[in-house]
Amino acid sequence: MSQTTERIHELVDKLNQYRNEYYNKNAPSVSDAVYDHLYDELERLEKETGIIMSNSPTQTVGYKAVSSLEKVRHPIPLLSLGKTKMVSELAAFLKKHAALLMLKLDGLTVKLVYEDGKLVEGSTRGDGDEGELITHNISAFRNVPLSIPYKGRLVMTGEGFIHKRDFDRLKDTLTGSDGKPYRNARNLASGSIRCLDACICKEREISFFAFNILEGMDEFSDIRDSRSSLLLSLPEYGFGICPFLPVSPDETAEDISVKIRTLTDLAELSDIPIDGMVLRFDSFSYSATLGRTGHHYNDGIAFKFEDDTYETVFRSIEWQTGRTGEIAPVAIFDTVEIDGCEVSRASLHNLTFIKGLELHPGCRILVSKRNMIIPHVEENLDRGNYQDMIPQTCPCCGQPTRMHSRAGDKGRMVETLHCDNPECGSRILHKFVHFAEKKAMNIRGLSEATLDQLIQIGALKTYQDLYHLDRYRNEIIALEGFGEKSFENLIASINESRNTTFVRFVVAMDIPLIGRTASRILDGHFHGSLRELRLAALDRFDFTCLEGIGDIMSSNLHKWFRNPDHLLLWGSLQKELHFENGLDAKASGEENNMNGTNNKFAGCTIVATGKLENFTRDGINAKIISLGATPGSSVTKKTDYLICGEKAGSKLAKAQQLGIKVLTEQEFMDMIAS
């Protein structure tokens, strides 16, 4: 940080201290003349540098409030990282490449966007693809520049957090939405950053440290490929950056352990809340070659500190039959308080896990909240008296249970318990629960308890029945907890879900292993057309050619669409819905056109290459599939046509060599229309 930037920070801190003494304590420590002199100096430096901090006393505008937090899409997904608790895995992760070891801040991930030197957008990470706009609150952060001298587009991510000393001061004076005091700094930071009223956010002392740059600074060619160099340039603009240490390619686990201790001591000394470390490669170009999964980027790994454990007494196992028939075991134990929450239940995963712990009623167990989120039984302190608590019949329908062995993590075999009765009430109920979930059809306010009531009175047998509950109006209004108003609210919520998307619909169909990530991949490839996905599956399209779709997922898609009941559901349910992209509304008309006698491409293999004017890469492949043809990735003797755009390259030469018919994009479109 330059001396000028340091002076700006110093003046902001001093003047805010003097303002607090004057206005809040009625005990000024300097004269008005001294204050005015320092104020004038700060104002002059802000004009000279273009750096204006969010908590600068020169910014006299009020703090805004909004009525709700709008959603915002992240063009570059803000994904998580893989995790480990072993330093040896950090050393192995390096693979002879330089990296940064950085504090894993315990707050809320925030993205900032600057245009022409001005802050134009602040947002939360959300689910990685979609977050919430919090621009109104950024001015209430105490160390984010609202104006910077860099005039290009600059997009960065960092963490909004509350220093431990500030949390200790605030925790006894504030309560959360449950009316109870906040128990940790992370929860207070998260709630404060997402406040509708920036005045409230300002009182919470939110700080920001940048830890990654997503866009911008391309003109800095000498350092543009170095994450550390770009981060170290940010303090010149007034930003704080997350503390880190460089890690050389050949460092050992012992070397990294020393650096972890150094950074941990720094965090403790500086009152910075952390819950681990992050190791990320320094080179942006190398990072880009490593790709991503649906959950995380592969260019970094998070090192999590060991979770704290709490002793309690195990009492029993509750068995819950899910929608697939697998019966999940849940441990019931004496209540313990972990991170401010009362915990008395935790998943026991499977039969192998239960037997491995040698559980029996009355034994002492150690419980944690892994990653401060998921309750977990870590150990049995009273081993040696295992009791078989596995039920012989389904806890819901009473039908015999079945044990099944399958491959678990790292290829180890695990035993699970199943109910094979397709009419099991619990299985049916949980299928409806999945269908109504936010990630699926997003029917707000439709709880598991309400669904159970609707099933019990015979109002729900199929998913389509949800959209015709008016047939059971009188019966539903007569249910406990219902009335005219609650019935109308339920119908309104269900009708809102009629406006849906490709992704939500596919998730709702509950195809094994096809969740949101896989559905988004299919959405992109098939251009939002459910019809084209169906045709591709029935034609045994090789879904593994799509990055992120593996052999088992591809097989599941083929099997699901070969089931006549599934095909009937797929088609009939769409008649109840309206798709936001509008593509499937055209399906019936397209079917007549594409499968007619004039379709010259049915059964052909077509490869597209070069830059096309009217299609994206996914778009042209979707169009090829809609014609009953197969999109190819390389030119071979089996290729029937090559669609050629600008900068075609080697595929054009190969097609000419093999004598394959080459079409321009316009010729391809003319043949479709003819």
Please report, as a single letter, which amino acid is at residue 507. V
- CA–CA separation, 260 and 104 (whole Å): 11
Q: How far is CA 113 from CA 122, 137, 156, 577, 632, in A?
A: 6, 14, 7, 36, 39
pLDDT at 481 over 90: no
Residue 127 — φ and ψ, nearest 5°? -95, 10
Cα dihedral sign for 336, 342, 348, 349? negative
Q: Is residue 61 part of a domain?
A: no
Angle between helices 3-23 and 32-49 (to 10 degrees): 140
104 is catalytic: yes
Catalytic residue, chosen from 104, 111, 259, 623, is: 104
Which range among 251-265, 429-443, 528-542, 593-607 shows the weakest confidence by mean pLDDT? 593-607
Q: Is residue 538 part of a domain?
A: yes
Q: Are 575 and 496 in contact (CB under 8 A)?
A: no
Output 576 or 625, whichever has higher pLDDT.
Answer: 576
Structural domain ending residue among the three candidates 545, 563, 592: 592
Q: Is residue 379 part of a domain?
A: yes
537 and 560: one domain?
yes
Output 634 or 48, whichever has higher pLDDT.
Answer: 48
Q: What is the mean pLDDT of residues 65-70?
A: 79
Task: Render pLDDT for 332-381 as a digit per residue (tens, 0 to 9).
Answer: 999 998 866 889 999 999 999 999 999 999 999 999 887 556 889 999 99
Strands 578-579 and 499-500: parallel
441 and 411: one domain?
no
CB within 8 Å of 300: residues ≥ 6 apart = 81, 82, 278, 279, 280, 281, 287
434 and 385: one domain?
no
What is the domain-level CATH number for residue 486? 1.10.150.20
pLDDT at 596 over 50: no
SS3 376: strand
Q: Is residue 599 part of a domain?
A: no
pLDDT at 619 over 80: no
Q: What is the mean pLDDT of residues 425-454?
A: 94
Q: Is 23 exposed, middle or buried (0-12, 13-18, 19+ CB in 10 A)?
A: exposed
93 and 130: one domain?
yes
Q: Is residue 437 part of a domain?
A: yes
pLDDT score of 255? 93
pLDDT score of 597? 39
SS3 520: helix
Q: Is residue 628 part of a domain?
A: yes
pLDDT score of 300? 94
Q: Is residue 56 part of a domain?
A: no
* Of residues 217, 74, 90, the one with CA closest to residue 150: 217
Range of the domain at 314: 310-419
Residue 400 — φ and ψ, nearest 5°? -60, 145
Task: Render pLDDT for 158-170 as a digit per residue (tens, 0 to 9).
Answer: 999 999 999 988 8
pLDDT at 263 over 60: yes
Structural domain ending residue among the three candidates 542, 562, 592: 592
Number of domains, the chain:
6
441 and 399: one domain?
no
CB within 8 Å of 240: residues ≥ 6 apart = 143, 207, 208, 209, 210
- CA–CA separation, 258 and 248 (whole Å): 13
Please give the model's pTM, rounded to 2 decimal places.
0.54
315 and 299: one domain?
no
85 and 214: one domain?
yes
pLDDT at 154 over 90: yes
Q: Is residue 2 part of a domain?
A: no
What is the domain-level CATH number for residue 377? 2.40.50.140
Helices (H), 270-381: 284-289, 351-357
- CA–CA separation, 600 and 619 (whole Å): 19
* Of residues 513, 533, 537, the one with CA closest to residue 525: 533
146 and 212: one domain?
yes
- CA–CA separation, 454 and 429 (whole Å): 10
- CA–CA separation, 162 and 349 (whole Å): 35
What is the domain-level CATH number for residue 22? 1.10.287.610
Q: Are 285 and 256 in contact (CB under 8 A)?
A: no
Q: Confidence band (pLDDT; 50, 70, 90) for 64?
A: low
Task: Render pLDDT for 660-670 as a digit per residue (tens, 0 to 9).
Answer: 999 988 888 87
Q: Are 412 and 321 in contact (CB under 8 A)?
A: no
pLDDT score of 329? 96
SS3 333: strand
Which range among 59-63, 406-410, 570-574 shows the weakest confidence by mean pLDDT? 59-63
pLDDT at 592 over 60: no
110 and 148: one domain?
yes
Q: Which of 64-78, 283-297, 445-459 has the highest mean pLDDT?
A: 445-459
Structural domain ending residue among the three candidates 444, 477, 497: 497
- CA–CA separation, 323 and 317 (whole Å): 19
477 and 404: one domain?
no
- CA–CA separation, 178 and 630 (whole Å): 56
pLDDT score of 655? 85
- CA–CA separation, 353 and 329 (whole Å): 10
Q: Is 592 exposed, middle or buried (0-12, 13-18, 19+ CB in 10 A)?
A: exposed
**140 — alpha (psi -120 to 50), left (phi > 0) or beta?**
alpha
- CA–CA separation, 90 and 58 (whole Å): 46
pLDDT at 585 over 70: no
Angle between helices 617-626 and 530-538 (to 10 degrees): 60
231 and 343: one domain?
no
Q: How far is CA 53 from CA 14, 39, 243, 300, 626, in A?
A: 13, 14, 20, 31, 54
Which range among 163-177, 187-201, 275-289 shows the weakest confidence by mean pLDDT? 163-177
Percent of the chain whose predicted confidence (pLDDT) is above 90:
56
What is the side-by-side strand order in the sheet with 661-664? 630-632, 605-609, 641-644, 661-664
pLDDT score of 341? 80
pLDDT at 61 over 60: no
155 and 291: one domain?
yes
